[in-house]
Amino acid sequence: MWALDIDFHTPKDLAAINNKEDILRFLDSAIAKVEASEPKKV
């Protein structure tokens, strides 16, 4: 979720650039779940 490609884009950036709204929603929910369960690690 926080990995970067060679141009320093996150998966969320790439989903937004390519208009992949379903993937963007999935990544948002996955990130929110991790942030809620482990707030100190994020």
pLDDT at 1 > cutoff 80: no
Buried b (16+ CB within 10 A) or exposed e, 16-34: eeeeeeeebeebeeebeee
**C-alpha dihedral sign at 27, 32, 30, 6:** positive
pLDDT digits (tens, 9 = 90+) for 4-42: 888 999 999 999 999 999 999 999 999 899 989 987 776
For the chain, what is the domain count?
Answer: 1
What per-residue confidence (pLDDT) applies to 6?
A: 87
What per-residue confidence (pLDDT) applies to 24?
A: 93
**Segments forming the whole domain that contains residue 18:** 1-42
User: Cα(1)–Cα(27) distance, rounded to whole angstroms?
Assistant: 7
